[in-house]
Homo-oligomer: A and B are copies of this chain.
Amino acid sequence: MANDFRSPRDHHWSPAEKKIARTAFDTALAREKAAARRSVEEMLRQSEDPDQLWEIHRFLDEKRRDLHEKYDFRYSVLTRVFRRLVNEGWLGPADLSGLGTDKLALILGDLTSLRP
C-alpha cells in the first residue's frame, strides 16, 4: 500500500482500467438520471397543483447543475469522483472491480479494510 500516499494526479490508468472507469462512470450517471426521472414521475403523481410544474422545473434545474458539477471524467480527479458516487450509493465495489488497489484504496476507503 506504499502507493496510498501518491497524489491521484500521479496515478497511471491502464487501458483496461480506463475502460472499467468509463463503464462505471456511465453506469452511475445512467442510474442517477433514471432516479431523477422516477422523482419527476412521482412529483406528478403526488399533486394535481398546476404549480407543481415549477417544482419540477426547480428540481431539474438543481439536478442538472449537480450532475454537471459531479460527473467529471478527468483522470486527475476520478478517484475522488468515484468515492463520492460510492458514498452516495450510485456505485458499488462490484462496479469498480478490476481497478488497481492503489485506486480502490482511495475510492473505497475503509471499505477495503473489511475485505479478507
A57, B50: Cβ atoms under 8 Å?
Answer: no
Q: List residues of A (35-89) whose CB comes within 8 Å of B's CBs.
A: 36-37, 40-41, 44, 50-54, 56-57, 60-61, 63-64
Whether the Cβ atoms of A61 and B57 lie closer than 8 Å is yes
Q: How large is the interface on A (under 10, 10 to 19, 20 to 34, 35 or more residues)?
A: 10 to 19
Complex contact A56–B50 (CB within 8 A): no
A53 touching B33 by the CB < 8 A rule?
yes
Task: Tell me whether chain A's interface is mostly helix, strand or loop, or mixed.
Answer: helix
In the bound assembly, the distance between CA atoms of A63 and B41 in angstroms comes to: 19
Bound-state Cα–Cα, A44 to B40, Å? 9
A33 CA / B54 CA spacing, docked (Å):
10
Other-chain residue from B33, B41, B50, B57 in contact with A60 (beta carbon distance below 8 A):
B57
Given A33-B50, A34-B50, A57-B61, residue A41 in contact with residue B44 (CB < 8 A): yes
Per the bound structure, the CA–CA distance linking A52 and B15 in Å amounts to 32
| Interfacial chain B residues near A51, Cβ < 8 Å | 33
Minimum-distance CB pairs A-B, first 3: A33-B50, A57-B60, A37-B53
